[in-house]
């Protein structure tokens, strides 16, 4: 499956990409499998979305799919079909906060 992912601007800069990222994801399309594929393709993103020690999503990031916040879904729960087919992008969003 080709999954589309939209990264927050600072992570696009870190990964040297512009616009969406397209990832080949083997097997079930879940938050974990997408993030695994993302980190495999862009190793510099290790630890920036999930904590290196706990693999928990970093507190100031959320994950949106098809206009739903799926941040608190189980990491191995299947993402919506529209994400899995690439019809819709998976959004990784940084909390809006200044400073």
Nearer to another protein, 57 or 84 (CB): 57
Could you list the beta-strand ranges (E) of 1-99: 2-6, 21-24, 61-65, 68-69, 90-94
Residue 21 CB, nearest distance to another protein (Å)?
16
Count CB neighbours of 37 within 10 A.
19
Distance separating alpha carbons of residues 85 and 27, to the nearest angstrom: 12
Sign of CA pseudo-dihedral 87, 74, 7, 16: negative
Nearer to another protein, 2 or 60 (CB): 60
In the complex, which residues of this chain contact another protein (CB under 8 A)?
A: 8, 10-11, 14, 43-44, 46-49, 51-53, 58, 60-61, 94-95
Nearer to another protein, 26 or 53 (CB): 53
Residue 26 CB, nearest distance to another protein (Å)?
24
Residue 92 CB, nearest distance to another protein (Å)?
10
DSSP label at 16? Answer: T
């Amino acid at each position: 499956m080709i999954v589309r992912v939209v990264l927050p601007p600072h992570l696009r800069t870190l990964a040297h990409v512009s616009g969406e990222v397209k990832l080949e994801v083997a097997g079930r399309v879940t938050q974990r499998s997408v993030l695994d594929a993302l980190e495999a393709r862009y190793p510099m993103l290790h630890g920036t979305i999930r904590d290196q020690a706990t693999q928990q999503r970093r507190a100031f990031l959320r994950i949106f799919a098809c206009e739903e916040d799926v941040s608190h879904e189980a990491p191995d729960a299947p993402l919506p079909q529209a994400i899995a087919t690439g019809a819709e992008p998976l959004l990784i969003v940084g909390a809006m906060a200044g400073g």
